Structure 1
Amino acid sequence: MQNSSEPNYDVIVVGAGAAGLIAAITAARRGNTVLLLEKLSKIGSKLKATGGGRCNLTNTLSNEEFMARFGRDGRFMTPALSAFDHKALITFFAELGVESHAPDGYRVFPISHSSASIITALEEEMGRLNITLITDSRVERLEHNGEKVCGVSTADQSFHSSNVIIATGGLGYPQLGAEGDGFAIASDVGHKVSELFPAMMPLRTRETWVAECRADTIPKVEIRVDLPKAKNIRASGDLIFTQNGIRGPVVLDISRDITPLIEKFGSVPLLINMTKGLNEEQLLTHIKKEIDRNPEQSVLTHIMTLLPESLSRALCTLADADPEKGFNRLEGSVRDRLLKLLAWTPLTIIGHDGFKMAMITRGGVSLKEIRPESMESKILSGLYFCGEVMNLDGPCGGYNLQWSFASGYVAGHLGAPIL
């Protein structure tokens, strides 16, 4: 039962990240009194770090292509993207005075290439709309009567509202305050929360030769999982070797599928093509052309037309091929082994550094218990979710931020039709 001294708002938003900020702004623009609660001392901590601080807001893919990158659950986003796609997001920030562009024709950044411009614009809009912001305030409990939301309680205060939007994010980047608060809140009121895994992060390998190849970025790499029931898991992009494993955009993308497999199998075998898609036959043709041009040069020199020297030497060692010999002077079995390694280099993933290095979380509140057209809970009236707290995650490249903004925009309508 509400105490008459409890502050009363039309909407309470829990979490001042990308999803929560746009949900609060959207709700306030519709004439609602809005309270935004943030447990940290500042808003947008994770947003500030997005894209290395450059803030990759979204990308220019069509809605269909965009959803496909999220896998089988991507269709859940259909109403949200119809209401607030990348074009609408670009317009939204332009109206707040932040122009954006896509330098590579794909990824969209503010022209400033600074997340600070995004956060400042959102802060100023919240001020204009008289949104009440309380920082250093952790929500501990959702108040409800079993059927409908009544408000929230922090450690020292309660706030009343018949509409609560949970935008607390996931477990990634705990140094920026991620603790999974929203998962506990959702679970306490009966929502199913799937198993949570760190995603979009570097991976550790069993193979130690990777440490010798840290100097260079390998472009246009394809990685695929070499497990019978996971053959379709693959990604492409730039690869970087580390002291104990691999990182880079291609690893960030595929790690969201690999971390659950590590949990299940203990290790995950990969096959990696670092020669721009060339197969064994094409590689042999390439090397023969190099031999025709330079018959006296070593096999190492020929491979270095495709790969950096450190990696070329490492692969020769793996194939037991003398890097200083001519290719035609190698034994047939050694040549075959080297071509096979060049076409698909095997690596075995054995671990990762957990959520402390994860940009996002794989898993969350079950989508089956959320209405996609409004983001409202099917279990408790007046309860809404948006952003990473839900069980939906995508690759790097503006996907997850666009989804946070789109779902926050829909949640901020509180079930009203979006025109």
Structure 2
Amino acid sequence: MKDYQVIVVGGGAAGMMAAGQAAKNGAKVLLLEKKERLGRKIAISGKGRCNVTNEENVSDFIRNYPGNGRFLHGILRDFDNAALRHFLARYGVETKVERGGRVFPVSDDAESVNKALTAYLTEMGVTILTGITIEDILVENDRVIGVQGTGQKRFLARSVIICTGGASYPATGSTGDGFRFARKLGHHVITPRPALVPLKTAETWVKELQGLSLRNVEASLWIGGKKKITEFGEMLFTHFGVSGPIILTLSRQAGEEIRKGETVQLRINLKPALSREQLDLRLQRDFQKYSNKQFKNALEDLLPQSLIPVMIQLSGINSERVVHQINREERKTLLALLQGLTLTITDTLSLETAIVTAGGIDVKEINPKTMASKRIEGLYWAGEVVDVDGITGGYNLQAAFAMGFRAGRAAGEEVCSLV
């Protein structure tokens, strides 16, 4: 086979950025992707709109990575959100900022991001081969020499960058190949597990609310009866439990605690903008307004229609009662529900359904200045295959692009310095 200086395995966000950067720094680069097209996971991210990054000050980014955020400190400064938006604009993708600082293409089309990255690879002269499955990383004397594909295909190079992703959304090509490579090469792999994943609940009444989306609510995670973390924003009820942005953010810790055998609860404040006293006054006004109606017809100003029967059931108040017959204690019970609707979390959905994989190559075995392996010379890691993960809001794609940028630049500089 034709020899290259740098081989990149995996054509996602990290891989495409790494390949382009290596070529930009003078290397002869081959990008290998197991699927028939590049950027499969980019294409479905953000519900097909692609939340590329967040506008938050990059100095505050680290706190949004529960998985080894400190490792990214210099990496994110090297290629930050402003640099990413400038890069995309250069290739025709203007971006906009939405609620929560989320940055999307103005076109609302994830494919525009893929086209920009492909144009970048073309401009930099990267050779792209798709439909290629890599079986092994070739190493001699603790130095990488290339990769072994299926059907006796060998591709040789002085540097190899692994950007194979995690183990979530396997249909996009992220099937854990990088973890298998790493273990065989003596790297420690932190057990992969789901992050940014919907949650299952013990309560079966969630089925009655399937498809109901709630905005501007507050969800708190309670572990062993103690409040641990709170998120504000949007959530969604499903037939098995709950999902949506704030649930996904809470899911990583929920999953960790469940695996420890802890009791995990989710408490939803449906009216977080109001204090308990303010909400009580609001409820009293509604009760006065509908004093001669049945209880089941008195909550329409306060709650979505589909949620009313569930709240009535949980309150224990007879739905046929006339509102003016409801006493103070019953009203207090309803108030507690409105600001503390409680769900018991039994599990997360599977790793395959998660948006992001937590776990991966131990960051202690990667040089953050270059993304180079500390075990195998000429080997680099970037993207979701590394044990780094962030909350929802564009942070994971930003990390992938930034790690790919640094790995590609370092690999390109290394091989060209040897010429």
2:373 corresponds to which letter in structure 1? S
SS in 2 for 1:307: coil
1:70-95 residue CA offsets vs partner (Å, 9 max, x unmatched): 13721211111111111100111111
Structure 2 equivalent of residue 286 of structure 1: 282
Q: Which amino acid aligns with 1:95?
A: R
- The match for 1:269 is 265
**Number of residue pairs matched?**
412
Any idea what the Cα deviations from partners look like across 1:320-372, whole Å, max 9, x if unmatched?
Answer: 01234355633454333222211111101223431332111111111111122
Once residues 391 and 211 of structure 2 are traced to their aligned partners in structure 1, the CA distance between those partners, rounded to angstroms, is 25
What CA deviation, in whole Å up to 9, does each residue of 1:360-413 have, x standing for no partner? Answer: 111111111112222111222221111111111112221111111111001111
Q: Output the CA distance in 2 between the equivalents of 1:279 and 1:164.
A: 57
Q: Any conservation in 2 of the 1:175–1:356 contact (CA below 8 Å)?
A: no
How big is each residue's C-alpha offset from its partner over 1:105-149, in whole Å with a ceiling of 9 and x where there is no partner?
A: 722112221122221222222222221111121121112235322
Question: 2:101: which partner in 1?
Answer: 106
Comparing 185-194 and 22-31, the one that deviates more: 185-194
State the alpha-carbon separation in 2 of the partners of residues 298 and 284 from structure 1.
19
Amino acid aligned to 2:283? I
Distance in 2 between the 1:368 and 1:16 partners?
A: 25
Match of 1:3 in 2: none
Q: Which residue of 1 aligns with 2:140?
A: 145
Match of 1:169 among 165, 176, 199: 165
**TM-score, normalised by the number of residues in structure 1:** 0.91
Provide the rounded CA distance (Å) in 1 between the counterparts of 2:110 and 2:283: 46
Percentage identity across aligned positions?
A: 38
Q: Secondary structure of 1:414's partner?
A: helix
Shifted more, 331-340 versus 398-407: the winner is 331-340
Q: Residue 382 of structure 2 aligns with which residue?
A: 386
Question: 1:88 aligns to what?
Answer: 83
Instruction: Give the Cα–Cα distance (whole angstroms) in 1 for the partners of residues 321 and 134 of structure 2.
Output: 67
Q: 2:15 aligns with which of 20, 29, 33?
A: 20
Q: Which residue of 2 aligns with 1:313?
A: 309
Residues in 2 aligned to 1:166 and 1:98: alpha-carbon distance in whole angstroms: 27
Q: CA deviation at 1:288?
A: 2.3
Contact 2:380 2:407 in 1 (8 A): yes
Pick from 209, 214, 218: which aligns with 2:210? 214
Q: SS in structure 1 opposite 2:260?
A: helix
Q: Report the AA paired with residue 281 of structure 2.
A: T
Question: Which one-letter code corresponds to 2:36 in the other structure?
Answer: S
Q: Is the 8 A contact 1:278 1:343 kept in 2?
A: no
Where does residue 181 of structure 2 map in the other structure? 185
Moved more, 65-74 or 331-340: 331-340
Q: What SS does the aligned partner of 2:191 have?
A: coil
Contact 2:223 2:257 in 1 (8 A): no
Matches within 5 A, 1:55-74: 55-71=50-66, 73-74=68-69
CA contact (8 A) 1:166 1:182 kept: yes
Q: CA RMSD in A?
A: 2.3
* Greater RCO (Cα-Cα under 8 Å, separation 6 or more): 2
Give the AA of the match of 1:145.
E
- Asked if 1:330 is matched to 2:343, the reply is no
Matching of residues 31-42 of structure 1 within 5 Å? 31-42=26-37
Secondary structure in structure 2 of the residue aligned to 1:196 = strand
Gaps of 5+ in 2: 415-419
1:164 is displaced (CA, Å) by: 1.1
- Contact 1:275 1:307 (C-alpha < 8 Å) held by counterparts: no
1:358 to 349, 354, 358: 354
Give the partner amino acid of 1:224.
S
Larger deviation: 97-106 or 384-393? 97-106
Greater Cα offset, 260-269 or 358-367? 260-269
Report the secondary structure of 1:363's partner residue: strand
